Structure 1
Amino acid sequence: MKRFSVLLPTRNGGPFIDNCIRSILNEDADLELVISDNANTDETPAVLERWRADRRVKILRFDEPRPVSENWNHALGAASGEYLLMMGDDDCILPGYFKRMESVIARHDHPDCILYNAFSYVAPGSIDRDENSYYAERHFCYEPGLDHEMVLPAAMRKAMVRDMFRFQVRIPLNMQTTLVRRQAGNLVPGGLFQPPFPDHFALNCLLMLAHKWIFVPEQIVTIGVSPKSFGHYIYSNNQARGLSYLGIKAQFPGRLNGNELLNGMHVWLNMLEHAFPAELGNTSIDRGGYVRRQAYAWLMQRKLGSISTGQLMSNFRQLSPRDWRGLACSVFDHQSWRRLTRLLEFSAKSKMEKQWYGLRPLPHIRNIAEFAAWAANRNGKS
């Protein structure tokens, strides 16, 4: 058994996947790389063929496109490692990732999950045809107190899950920022990766079920957005195509158009309610919080020009009296005021920077490999 299995499901990631593979295989670690080719029709198969001779690499293939959760499970089923790391084909790890994980594993006696931070990187042409690279120093802003290596107590983790039902997200819902021990993944009822957003459901189940979580504050991977990633569709306001690309349908009673990540969240929150009725008790989805966030999404879409004033008014007309009462509660919601202030601010920034707080341009960087080298050199890890 290998220490680490890196899972790399890919759908037409040809221009980007080589940088991801190289970042993993350049590391000196006891690892295997399991790549699941989801019926790729671009240059991806040719890129993968160049790596086939490496004994650390396993390459699987679907002949017809499958939903994202099936592709993830395809890679998971072929993995043999003690610890699992999920990567996207436009992501990369930073130098020293596995060495850092080995030290945490040894110091904390084989924890179930290790949570950390990441850089965000937006490749040229990914959003609004902007030809600059962009990055965010921190992919996720953790709460005060999560600023040093520590054990996450079970009570804190369960509170984090309950807060999800109020749409307050306290950890990044990206598998790339959590290393998972295989035996912990086996605890998830129905399997680790389930639709519609397999990482979101898996991480919340692990917060509930895993025995020991460790938090480390460093950014040790880079999460990429490219012209073919779901983030491209989200930030380009073309979410329907993004869902089609992933093979995802987020349907439920009371669904509102708007932010499809939010609709996906509603679906997996319903799944969590059914999976953990005793543990969650009276916890239920905050309809008012859902409505407020969708209304903010509508206003942002109107500001960016992706919907008309008529469409905006039509969205508000679909709200029920109960929904309007929930929207009125925005007066007492600090997060709603922060969002509204940000929405109304005059800014000369690009559309991308308006939607993604903390994003900075990097015009001299052309791809994620260059960014990783720049970040590692800046942090003294090259």
Structure 2
Amino acid sequence: MAINQVEGNILQEEGHWEEAIASYYQALKLNPQNWEIYNRLGQVYQAQNQITETISVYRQGLTLLNPHYAKAVAAYQNAAITQEMLVTPPIPQGEVTVGDYEFPAIPPVTESEKPRPFWTVVIPVYNRTNYLLECLASVLVQWPGAEQMEILVIDNASTPPLFDLVNSIGRGVIRYYRNQENIGVLPNHNVGISLSRGQWIHILHDDDCVLPGFYNRLQQSLQGCPDSIGAAFGNFEYFNEKGTVVEKGEVISWFGDDKGIPQNFLQAIGVTCPLQVPAVVIRRVTHEQLGGYYPHLVCASEWELYKRIAVSYNWWYEPESFARYRIHSHRLTDDDLSSGILATSIRQGIEISKSYLPVEHRADITIQACSYNFNYCLTRAAIPLKSGNVAGALRMLQEILKLDRSPQALAKLFAWLTQDEVAPVREEIIAKLLSVPVDNIPTELQPPQTAIAP
């Protein structure tokens, strides 16, 4: 990495925007083919809300580095076409039964003479714009042409519409649809899947991104793979609001360095989910067979989907880190933790998968999942208290007691309640207990009786 680029990275991390910009432009003079520098410049301009400059630097880098993009944009401009905002067309409604549950059906692709692309990238959006251009650019820089990839942005009735922002760098390449009303997060994902024509589908959230090589590397492995493979994943990196990588994902520690079909994947994914959405791709026929995202799960919905797929299909694993999952203050996951909803969804997801897990593994996987996620939620139950949300903490405790009421679990719960930082929730529990007749107190909430020698 060039000295100017390193200096730019440090200055960007420290918030010295103008100095960082100067360093990055010096680095570009030495290496104008370096996409990471264009991306960093885009991040700095975006952080200052200089949208015109952000768009300009991304378009400059994309045009220089991706001839497919440059050709498509030039052809669009020369044709003098006025692109109109597309309204999301009606989606055929249906259901697919897996286990004891009904999941939204994904209609098959209508046969046509036009060849299907290998990839469909679906980017669901709603109102957020802080990282959208970076997300779009990360796909566009490796767009291999319309014959190989279609990119769909599904706007869930943002106010104002994100049409102009998307078209500022995607005109001529990206197809933008806008729902006439907000249909919810997961139904919006399913709309994108239903509108797709690609053989493989990649859901990419607007605050995440992929690195150059993501699609090419996966396509090399998946092209011509056996029908038994229904989905694929790779390792990923966590990065922050400034675009700095803070740690590697957990996948590599679970599955090692050897690419291919991981052994005992169902037993692993059945207990918890080490994957993140930007690092996962799913074959479209898999969705046609098993349905889309279950809309009644407020969060952790991808975990349920991955389990559903693992019951019927093998997964393919690429150990490289070509995707990035952003950690920032506006993540939906943070709100889910604070309200306690995440614990509820985890419990519900375990109940759903219990109905379709193979009989020979069902009990073992379910018990392990309940125990693991009891501990996972308990270690995060203090998070709502940081924002003064005692009700959210109580909800999490109520949910984890539905997961695991073993003596070992209850001992951990009582030990957790002795901590000073959780005094508010402890006092709330005591107040509730004092207002209930002793005979009506649930057994699991009664303290253990200690025999006193006469």
Match of residue 193 from structure 1? 293
For residues 232 and 250 of structure 2, the distance between their equivalents in structure 1, rounded to whole angstroms, comes to 15
C-alpha deviation, 1:186, in angstroms: 2.2
Out of 215, 218, 226, the position equivalent to 2:320 is: 218
Match of residue 171 from structure 1? 274
Match of residue 13 from structure 1? 128
Provide the TM-score with structure 2 as the length reference: 0.56
| SS state at 1:217 partner | strand
C-alpha deviation, 1:115, in angstroms: 1.4
For residues 161 and 85 of structure 1, the distance between their equivalents in structure 2, rounded to whole angstroms, comes to 19
Match of residue 100 from structure 1? 217
For residues 17 and 315 of structure 1, the distance between their equivalents in structure 2, rounded to whole angstroms, comes to 32
Gaps in structure 1 of 5+ consecutive residues: 125-132, 241-257, 332-336, 345-382
Q: Deviation per CA, 1:209-265: give whole Å up to 9, x if none.
A: 11x32211111011123454314535xx6x44xxxxxxxxxxxxxxxxx4x323212
Is the radius of gyration larger for structure 1 or structure 2?
2
Paired residues of 1:4 and 1:32 also in contact (CA < 8 A): yes
Out of 378, 383, 397, the position equivalent to 1:295 is: 378
Paired residues of 2:273 and 2:303 also in contact (CA < 8 A): no
C-alpha deviation, 1:202, in angstroms: 1.3
1:62-211 to 2 correspondence within 5 Å? 62-106=179-223, 108=225, 111-123=229-241, 134-143=244-253, 146-153=256-263, 156-162=264-270, 164=271, 169=272, 171-172=274-275, 174-188=276-290, 191-195=291-295, 196=297, 197=299, 198-210=301-313
Q: Deviation per CA, 1:335-355: give whole Å up to 9, x if none.
A: xx9x99xx99xxxxxxxxxxx
For residues 20 and 319 of structure 1, the distance between their equivalents in structure 2, rounded to whole angstroms, comes to 36
Paired residues of 1:289 and 1:326 also in contact (CA < 8 A): no
CA pair 102-270 structure 1, distance change in 2 beyond 3 A: same
User: Does structure 1 residue 34 correspond to structure 2 residue 152?
Assistant: yes
Gaps in structure 2 of 5+ consecutive residues: 1-115, 421-454
Q: Deviation per CA, 1:39-74: give whole Å up to 9, x if none.
A: 1114623212435631x3221111221211110011
CA pair 4-279 structure 1, distance change in 2 beyond 3 A: farther
CA pair 312-50 structure 1, distance change in 2 beyond 3 A: closer
C-alpha deviation, 1:76, in angstroms: 0.8
The AA in structure 2 aligned to 1:323 is R
C-alpha deviation, 1:205, in angstroms: 1.1
**Aligned residue pairs, count:** 295
C-alpha deviation, 1:103, in angstroms: 1.8
1:235-246 to 2 correspondence within 5 Å? 239-240=338-339
Match of residue 360 from structure 1? none
The AA in structure 1 aligned to 2:259 is E
Out of 352, 361, 370, the position equivalent to 1:271 is: 352
Match of residue 45 from structure 1? 163
Q: Over aligned residues, Cα RMSD in angstroms? A: 3.7
The AA in structure 1 aligned to 2:234 is Y
Percent identity reads 14
Q: Which has the higher helix share?
A: 2
Paired residues of 1:3 and 1:83 also in contact (CA < 8 A): yes
Provide the TM-score with structure 1 as the length reference: 0.66
